[in-house]
Structure 1
């Protein structure tokens, strides 16, 4: 397993959607970043987690930091 301190981390900023303006660090320039927010269950809890899912796709035209990931409004 590779030590995370030796990886080439890059800063990325999320553009649009519920995480607009948030910054994160990524390695290997992933094409998609998944953002989740917890949802409260309506009724008794049975151990299931319910989360809202949002996808951000990398803008391949941005080649220097901060990388940009735009909100995909068509994501599930």
Structure 2
């Protein structure tokens, strides 16, 4: 058992979308992961930031590591 296992962390990989192939560690197997990507904003007021938001959903029947999260193209 590794320290990650003891703390409840598992390896996961993101499939598709802008974060395709990214590996992450997750705790408690969340059903959804959100990835943000900074966008360049023209004439934005000071302190305002714009991010693209991408959603990845845990594959059904995920049993072994790495868990697989698929890109959800339909999510806003």
Fold similarity call, TM over 0.5: yes
Taking the aligned partners of 1:37 and 1:56, their CA distance within structure 2 comes to 14
Identify unmatched segments of 5+ residues in structure 2: 1-5
Q: How many positions carry a matched residue from both structures?
A: 72
What is the TM-score with the length of structure 2 in the denominator? 0.87
Taking the aligned partners of 1:61 and 1:17, their CA distance within structure 2 comes to 21
Identify unmatched segments of 5+ residues in structure 1: 1-5
Q: Displaced runs of 4+ in structure 1, greater than 3 A?
A: none
Give yes or no for the alignment of 1:26 onto 2:8: no
Higher share of residues assigned strand: 2
Taking the aligned partners of 1:44 and 1:16, their CA distance within structure 2 comes to 30
**Cα-Cα RMSD:** 1.5
Matches within 5 A, 1:1-76: 7-76=7-76
What is the TM-score with the length of structure 1 in the denominator? 0.87
